[in-house]
Structure 1
Amino acid sequence: MDLSDVDDVSVDLWFWPTTPNLGRQSLFSWRPEPDSGLWIGLDNGEAVAQAGGATVSIGPIEERTWHRLTASYGRSGVLKLRIEAVQTTNPSAVRIASTAVPSVGHVSGSRSAEIFFGAEHGGDSATDFYNGKIEAPRVYSTTMTDEHLGLQSDTRDSAKDPLAARDFELGISEWSVTDVSGGGYDGYAINMPMRAATGHNFDGTETAWPHALLHYGVIHFHDDDLFDAGWEPSFSWSVPTDLKSGVYAAHVFTGSSHDYIPFTVRPATGHPSAKVVLLLPTFTYLAYANEQLVNQSDAMSHVDYPVQEQDKYIVENRLLSLYDRHSDGSGVCYSSRLRPIVNMRPQCVMAWLDEGRGSPHNLNADLYIVDGLHEHGTDFDVITDEDLHHEGRAILDPYNVVLTGTHPEYWSLDMIRSTQDYLQSGGRMMYLGGNGMYWVTQLDPSTGASVEIRRRGPSTRMWEPEPGEAHLSATGELGGLWRHRGLAPQSWLGVGFTAETSGPGRPYERRPGSFDDASRFIFHDVDDDVIGDMPNLIQSYGAAGYEFDRADPMLGTPTNTTILATATGFSDDAQACSEEIMTSDSSQSGSVSPLVKNDMVLVEYPNDGAVFSTGSIAWSGCLSQNNYQNNVSTVTCNVLDAFAHDRKDYRLPEDR
């Protein structure tokens, strides 16, 4: 900002600090030269303004309380700071402090400089990051008198024309920040601080930001926000045009250190190479990217952590997933792929699973499906959540059957609607996971490089948004669970999340429906009444486990759903999901709750469409047992062969 001719400067803003006692934090920084400009921030519990070699402070500053702050200095030779704390239970209290500035010329020095909110400009990087909210900041080329401030009810109401002004309620779904003063001093929100946050005037009359924009003129900053690490490419490689669609990895190494960086190759647009497609749940990969859940959960204090090099890197570099909290205790609602994601690696385990021993999860568990497809000799293409989100039903239509990964938990509305349309038109799906299609998720429309959620309850969740902050900044839609928006996975997959356990799983027992003519094809060459009674590569035992699903007509399971098999008898380590609890009691554990069960189902759709659902994250961990000669592998291959066949009726027997 060019303020080289300015003799006076004032800043007026609202702030809501979440860690006011945590060292030096910058609210406003404008430093054309080392001894010029103006800095305003917090320092160990006090509000501080610095200019011209002088410092003035007011304290203490109260945590999670709205404060109106004004600072000014200039030709008068006085640096003044004014703080007004606004609390519900106490009347507003105004505190003013001032001091003489040793020498005053042009307050701006001789050159222009960038203005920072929420951080200090530190040369090649930023420093002194702020934790908390900032609302409606204004910059003036004049000093503001106490009398004038007393006439204003809000920073937006100033009778003076601001030199620069930000109204953060504008462009909430974007990362550019417009200067509403008309001066053209536009800006950018770096590293995705949280938008769609409530302001000082939020009164609860509306809880959706699109309906009350003036209540959401806020950005919530965190000292550990990270969207783009800004790394320069280390190498590049052009994908050969004849390379088969699939899951690959770049093997990088130096000396004794090496790494495998996974990537997918999708088929050329409009040119599928198979009748089967595997939909990798990359939104879920982003949700879990760099999770350090064990490090932030008292309930998992019994687990040794970090357990592997990836965990150490995550903790040391303060990387966060959508399961973690920022340093100020607020939940992480954005997760980007433009940063290191070191736990999305072959052989990397999720620390708290399998009773604290660690277990394959997400990509690593999905590789068991990839391996099974290769072992079965199945030609298949690979696409990702991003592909389905952007291209919709058109990307599914060429395929006879779509396979999910083990844990497709995070889905957007576009993905759900597109897949439902595909199934209604005769498409088929094998839902080979558990706790799928659970959270309302959105891909950032501005960058396409991150996903957003808001963990609104009731739900099984690791954090809760502030009141009024349950709507996604990307679209304004209500966050939380799809079941609370009338799209429970039971309503179109037949089953939905019911319970989870980090202990051993259970086998399924076949139900009468599995012997019907319509479902007989699923159990061809299977003489067992018990399915998945075997060791498991994902957990210690059983094909049903970790996070698993049940059928429930009350949540929309269609009448034309056949329950094929059910797993019961889980230990008390398995607990029914919290969204099922209406009143507090002690009846949620596996030995007593009828909800702690895992159903395997077949859902019939029009035009010979169908969904086969295992409803279990653990299912694929049994595929390779006994060199693939087991009933989990046989059932999977039977359904795959039937669904992938070109014949209209998948139930018809074929030559074997």
Structure 2
Amino acid sequence: MSMRIVGYSDRLSVEHGDEIAFMVSTEETAYHAEMVRLIHGDDNPAGPGFKSVHIPSSVDGEHEGLLQVLRPGSYVRVPHREGLETQGSFTIQLWMWPTTPDRGAQTLFAQRGASGDGYALSLENGYLTLRIGETELTVQSRVEARVWHFVSVVFDANTGDVQLMFEPICATRSGTTNSARKSTTGHTHSPTDILIGGQELLDSGELVVSSFYNGKIEAPRLYDRALDDTELAVLREGRDPLPQAGLIAAWDFSRDISTGSVTDSSGHEFHGHAVNMPMRAATGRNWDGKETSWRHVPDQYGAIHFHDDDLSDANWKQSIQWKVPDELPSGVYALHVTAGDAEDFIPFTVRPGLGKPTAKIVLLLPTFSYLAYANERLLDTVEGMGHVDYPRQGQDRYTVENRLLSLYDTHSDGSGVCYSSRLRPIVNMRPKCVMQWLDEGRGSPHGLNADLYLVDWLYEHGFDFDVVTDEDLHHEGARLLEPYNVVLTGTHSEYWSNEMIDAAQAYLHLGGRMMYLGGNGMYWVTQLDPETGASVEVRRRGPSTRMWEPEPGEAHLSSTGELGGIWRYRGRAPQSWLGVGFAAETSGHGRPYVRQPDSFEPDAAFVFDGIDGDELIGDLPNLVQTYGAAGYEFDRADFRLGTPAHTKILATASDFSDAAQAACEEIMTSDSQQSGSVNPLVKTDMVLLDYPDGGAVFTPGAIAWCGCLSQNGYDNNVSRVTSNVLRAFASDERDFRAAAANTVAQDVTA
């Protein structure tokens, strides 16, 4: 059964006194809501089970239900005002690069009212088609996928003739003009908005945008006269000066690439705005491959890539608004909504105000990674990835039914998804939800649900802590972390921006301490949308372990212009400042750690206080994978990639099965020596790295680590190691090792 109640919030992080809005959709006429603090999200009976605490609030109780729908599909809207419509003759000209030309009706350019007045230019089952009034005109030659086409519509009101033409332009040929002519008496005037990439149509009596186009469009122009063949040739060849007489608007997509703004360069200011974030910084028909950064040659990046399944803002009506009470402790919370036996948790964090810490410990939740994995649909094709079938959750079905996508998925036209927004339901960012299918198809928590293992452990051990998010760190930098003695990361902090790395490194150099309690961290170059602050962007440039590849020339982020891919190739490999970086991943069992010589040195002894010297670390059941503290995705030290020479390698997990495979960027040539049983680099290193002025990093380098924390009633050596380091790192003393020794002495005395 799919989700009968679902929602999202307008933000993921709030402070005391902030108001947070929740958008809820349900099939029922009413639903119940209450606030809860989330503690442990995994309901697996092998662990402590689901835990939450009700927080009495003004929103508790029954609320009127409302069914709200998702409407994916990207387009440009140019609002109508006087002078935008065509009264008589007109010309439309644009360039198109279709990706699914044979797929139904796809609107390229339209100014058409619900009554059928005006015009609409579209692709219909592979053929270029124009509707003008009641007249329909189709070119009887098929357009080609992934080829640039020069397209024009010329209507002469004096003769009533309309000409529709396209010409494919590619390396092997050009000049093949395909056209159709027809006489029409249809009335062309429609005082409505112009839409590029979609069209407003009636759906059950409601006017909605549909008929979305898949592919690139470049340089659409509108004239209030019929251009002749010579003038069209000037446009086709891109020669200057362009014909300006009668020009109504010329939309230049190479401008304002980092925003949703669409600029009219005609001087008439018929500017538009992109809806649902179609991909910007897309190569145009004139890209020559000499430069691969849109910032260097913006005129060669004059295209926008539209998709029929883009969705940046669900734009649902607000259902509940809540003001965060001043007395509410920092933590992870959720609006729990129920309708009959259906439920949803809409999570958010409460953080203290900047410079107003309430504890010495802060947990940095990896919300950028939550967004990257948001509504991941790899599970929908899990059989094709070599795994067995599994009982699908309601969240999985909702994702598929509503065409929701993550940064791991591809659009319906096969291009990679590079933007992910929080202004829509993120149904796998939930307690009780499993995402990754490991150990022969067993469901496993990931993201928020796995990070709640750490939240639960902190509560169980009585540690006071604050909670902040990636988004907070991106905006506020090192000053967000400075008041804290130690920063804990989540289990999979994979997606970091340049601003976040700068902030974390500055904090460490000022004497701050970090416990990086995950694996595959600080890996992808990621950026927050500068315009809305609600979405993140990734361009999966190789070499890297990736699910898709950008088109040639499109590896630079539209948000900042910086080169995408992984930080390793930007000179900021995580090994250089955390001591370890991504090494391998496995869908099979994890492994325990074996202590290494560095762990027996006096300045590392505090980590293993209370643990026998020959004891395997994490030789335990695991809630992420069936067994072993080192698993799923894991990291190792690599001095070639910048691991500092003074890094202490405390323990190593190795001897993985062949289900473990080296990261793609580690493989120079194709061979059969990349699996756990034969590749000595398929391993995990637990390290301790000192920084100046008492700063330090500790990491076990594995996503699965926190999945062992609760085993044996929280009394196990993974829990002990984590507690030993946290108590030392949280101390006020500059010499945290001395603080650890004092703590041990006090424990012995007690």
TM-score (norm 1): 0.98
**Out of 595, 608, 620, which is 2:694 matched to?**
608
Q: Cα deviations across residues 391-429 of structure 1 (Å, max 9, x unaligned)?
A: 000000000000000000000000001100100110000
Residue in 2 that maps onto 1:629: 715
Change in CA separation of 1:155 and 1:13 when aligned onto 2, cut-off 3 Å: farther
Q: 1:210 aligns to what SS in structure 2?
A: coil
Residue in 2 that maps onto 1:121: 200
**Out of 54, 64, 72, which is 2:154 matched to?**
72
C-alpha distance in 2 between matches for 1:5 and 1:441: 43
C-alpha distance in 2 between matches for 1:509 and 1:402: 26
C-alpha distance in 2 between matches for 1:624 and 1:20: 54
Change in CA separation of 1:164 and 1:151 when aligned onto 2, cut-off 3 Å: closer
Deviating runs (4+, > 3 A) in structure 1? 2-5, 151-157, 296-299
Q: Cα deviations across residues 334-390 of structure 1 (Å, max 9, x unaligned)?
A: 000001111111010014333321100010110000011001100000000000000
Change in CA separation of 1:83 and 1:544 when aligned onto 2, cut-off 3 Å: same
Q: Please list, as runs of the form range in 1=range in 2, the aligned pairs for 1:213-612 lying within 5 A after superposition.
A: 213-296=298-381, 299-300=384-385, 302-304=387-389, 307-527=392-612, 528-612=614-698
C-alpha distance in 1 between matches for 2:615 and 2:427: 42
**Out of 238, 244, 250, which is 1:160 matched to?**
244
Change in CA separation of 1:619 and 1:12 when aligned onto 2, cut-off 3 Å: same
Q: 1:236 aligns to what SS in structure 2?
A: strand
Residue in 1 that maps onto 2:77: none
Q: Cα deviations across residues 148-168 of structure 1 (Å, max 9, x unaligned)?
A: 212434468531342011110
1:183 aligns with 2:265: no
Equivalent pair of 1:305/1:351 in contact (CA under 8 Å): no
* Aligned-residue CA RMSD (Å): 1.4
Question: How far did residue 146 of structure 1 move?
Answer: 2.1
Letter in 1 for 2:244: K
Q: 2:264 aligns to what SS in structure 1?
A: coil
Q: 1:21 aligns to what SS in structure 2?
A: coil
C-alpha distance in 1 between matches for 2:85 and 2:566: 52
Residue in 2 that maps onto 1:92: 175
Q: Cα deviations across residues 110-152 of structure 1 (Å, max 9, x unaligned)?
A: xx11000000122532010000000000000011222321243
Residue in 2 that maps onto 1:56: 137
C-alpha distance in 2 between matches for 1:592 and 1:442: 37
**Out of 216, 219, 243, which is 1:133 matched to?**
216
C-alpha distance in 1 between matches for 2:508 and 2:585: 28
C-alpha distance in 2 between matches for 1:298 and 1:458: 26
C-alpha distance in 2 between matches for 1:188 and 1:551: 47
C-alpha distance in 1 between matches for 2:581 and 2:86: 64
Residue in 2 that maps onto 1:150: 233
Question: How far did residue 255 of structure 1 move?
Answer: 1.8
Instruction: For CA contacts below 8 A with separation 6 or more, give which structure has more relative contact order.
Output: 2
Residue in 2 that maps onto 1:644: 730
C-alpha distance in 1 between matches for 2:468 and 2:156: 60
Equivalent pair of 1:306/1:312 in contact (CA under 8 Å): no
Question: How far did residue 5 of structure 1 move?
Answer: 6.3
Equivalent pair of 1:294/1:301 in contact (CA under 8 Å): no
Letter in 1 for 2:550: P
C-alpha distance in 1 between matches for 2:731 and 2:133: 78
Change in CA separation of 1:163 and 1:476 when aligned onto 2, cut-off 3 Å: same
Return 158-167 or 290-299, whichever deviates more.
290-299
C-alpha distance in 1 between matches for 2:636 and 2:577: 13
Equivalent pair of 1:294/1:300 in contact (CA under 8 Å): no
Question: How far did residue 327 of structure 1 move?
Answer: 0.0
1:17 aligns with 2:98: yes
Question: How far did residue 4 of structure 1 move?
Answer: 5.3
Q: Cα deviations across residues 463-498 of structure 1 (Å, max 9, x unaligned)?
A: 000000000000000000000000010000000000
Letter in 2 for 1:601: V
Q: Cα deviations across residues 568-622 of structure 1 (Å, max 9, x unaligned)?
A: 1100000000101111111000000011000000001011100001100000000
Change in CA separation of 1:88 and 1:522 when aligned onto 2, cut-off 3 Å: same
| Unaligned ranges ≥5, structure 1 | none
More strand by share: 2
Q: 2:440 aligns to what SS in structure 1?
A: coil
Change in CA separation of 1:588 and 1:620 when aligned onto 2, cut-off 3 Å: same
Q: Please list, as runs of the form range in 1=range in 2, the aligned pairs for 1:94-113 lying within 5 A after superposition.
A: 94-101=177-184, 103-105=185-187, 107-109=188-190, 112-113=191-192
Return 173-182 or 493-502, whichever deviates more.
173-182
Residue in 2 that maps onto 1:41: 122
Equivalent pair of 1:249/1:262 in contact (CA under 8 Å): yes
Q: 1:618 aligns to what SS in structure 2?
A: helix
C-alpha distance in 1 between matches for 2:113 and 2:544: 49
Return 245-254 or 615-624, whichever deviates more.
245-254
C-alpha distance in 2 between matches for 1:356 and 1:243: 40
Q: Cα deviations across residues 540-585 of structure 1 (Å, max 9, x unaligned)?
A: 0000000000001000000110000000110000000010111111
TM-score (norm 2): 0.85
Q: 1:531 aligns to what SS in structure 2?
A: coil
Equivalent pair of 1:167/1:180 in contact (CA under 8 Å): yes
Equivalent pair of 1:409/1:437 in contact (CA under 8 Å): yes
C-alpha distance in 1 between matches for 2:85 and 2:414: 40
C-alpha distance in 2 between matches for 1:466 and 1:41: 24
- Size of the aligned set, in residue pairs, is 652
Percent identity reads 61
Q: 1:214 aligns to what SS in structure 2?
A: helix
